[in-house]
Chains A and B, each alone.
Chain A
Amino acid sequence: MQYLTKITARDLNVYYGDKQALFDVNLDVQKNQVTALIGPSGCGKSTFLRCVNRMNDVIDICRVEGKITLDGDDIYREGIDAVQLRARVGMVFQKPNPFPKTIYENVAYGPRIHGLASNATDLDEIVMNSLERAGLIDEVKDRLDDPGTGLSGGQQQRLCIARAIAVSPEVILMDEPCSALDPIATAKIEELMGELTENYTIVIVTHSMQQAARVSERTAFFHLGIVVEEGETAKIFTDPVDDRTRDYITGRFG
């Protein structure tokens, strides 16, 4: 199977005021794959993730130099609407953050404001379809009018994934999506990621080496704001090229 590049970062430098967070980052993300970003806290992996849907725009002191393209199109060029971009590049956060609304409304909100449904039947279909793809439908189909916040942590996270999917994104960014979940809920999300790659490209930031090894096709190791090594996950976890990668994944880092 031939993979196409979905996202490219070229000579990406990111600053928070005087502090530089990313240094000349070059990274390709392949379409319909899971790419894991690993590295110690403060290494820049989340900063990178937030650049991909321009979430850093909302931080005043944040400055981005270099280039990130989505399907070859520079997402920082003039004329790019960040809100539209975020519909194409969805995000799931560390802590499940459903809206204080019903389960149905959580998923319907995005398609409604983006005008993706022409009528109520359309919207129903989008909501049900998204819940199904997020692996949540069987658990919530009889209580769509219950508040989303009443679900368990794992269900809430899958609701957030359904909400992200509902606006038909191409890419889903996940920032430690399982760190607040128990192993069973984590396993469900991990399994779901594999299924989601049929339609979406996933980039996940994780502190769990084992999670990165389990879910991703490719892994990038960030350290001190640079990409030290990027490659096939199986290769990184059996035979990393760079000593720093090896020291990190084997826990030798002091």
Chain B
Amino acid sequence: MSRLVESHLTELRQKLLRMASLCEAILETALESLWTRNAVLAEQVKPDDLEIDRLDVEIDELVLRLLATQAPVADDLREVIASKMIAIDLERVGDLARNVAKSAISLADNPEVPTPPRLRTLADEAQRILRRSLDCFAERDPNKAAEVLDDDDQVDEDEDLVIRAAIEEIRTHPEYASQEVDFIMVAKNLERVADHATNIAEGVILAAEARIVKHAEKLAQ
């Protein structure tokens, strides 16, 4: 039986998947521009970020329309709520990627300072976690999503190491303070990307299993 709600949900999902792939791409471009100190490349994230924002607005409209006209329940309701949650996180990932691109432009404009080695590891980790969470969203796989939840310890550790190293560099080479602050900001932004990726995984679990797992560890204490 074809249901009215079905076509709306399909449209919602398509928009989210498009948003997700733009997020992966924009982060990839931002990081590439950072590693290569390529300000021209960094500028190219703008249209993608704008497209993400546009999709975010369209998703809001669609969610409102769906709730108002279809009064979804059960799996449908969870899908709508989880979609809205995931859209918020994807939009934030877009913004964070844009921040990384801004740092890349700033770094390209200043004398070159070697990239802290741990920043590369941190970026790889953040990208890997984002990819995993988007995969489990695309596959609606709550088991994979549960694995993503426990996966950001490495990111936190790397962020900490990058920040410490940058502070140390500022002490010994105060003339490079601006560049080192950029590295700190990039590290912060990447750590946030990983956080949003875990939020997305939480949305997948809510949609699939009706379980609210966010803040579970903190609230259990």
| A interface with B by C-beta (< 8 Å) | 209-210, 213, 236-240, 245-246, 249-254
Contacts and interface: CB of A to CB of B under 8 A. Distances in A.
B78 interface: yes
Contacts of B74: 236-240, 245-246, 249-250
A252 B77 contact: no
9 contacts: A209-B71, A238-B210, A239-B74, A246-B75, A249-B74, A250-B5, A250-B75, A251-B1, A253-B1
Nearest to B77: A238
Given A237-B73, A238-B210, A251-B4, 12 more contacts: A209-B73, A213-B73, A236-B74, A237-B74, A237-B77, A239-B78, A240-B74, A245-B74, A250-B73, A251-B5, A252-B3, A254-B1
A217 to B, nearest CB: 17
Nearest to A254: B1
Nearest to A240: B74
Contacts of B48: none
B76 interface: yes
A3 B175 CA distance: 72
Among B1, B73, B78, B210, residue most surrounded by chain A Cβ atoms (within 10 Å) = B73
B3 A251 contact: yes
For the complex of A and B, list the 3 residue pairs with the smallest distance between their C-beta atoms, beginning with the closest.
Answer: A239-B210, A254-B1, A237-B73
B174 interface: no
A121 B3 CA distance: 58
Contacts of B4: 251
B72 interface: yes
Contacts of B78: 238-239
Contacts, number: 37
Interface string B71-113: 1111111100000000000000000000000000000000000
Contacts of A254: 1
B76 A250 contact: yes
A252 B1 contact: yes
A209 B71 CA distance: 10
Contacts of B75: 246, 250
A229 to B, nearest CB: 11
A236 B74 CA distance: 7
Contacts of A253: 1
A250 B78 CA distance: 12
Interface in B129-156: none
Interface in B1-24: 1, 3-5
Contacts of A237: 73-74, 77
A118 to B, nearest CB: 50
B133 to A, nearest CB: 22
Interface string B207-221: 000100000000000
Contacts of A236: 74
Interface string B17-45: 00000000000000000000000000000
A254 B1 CA distance: 5
Contacts of A213: 73
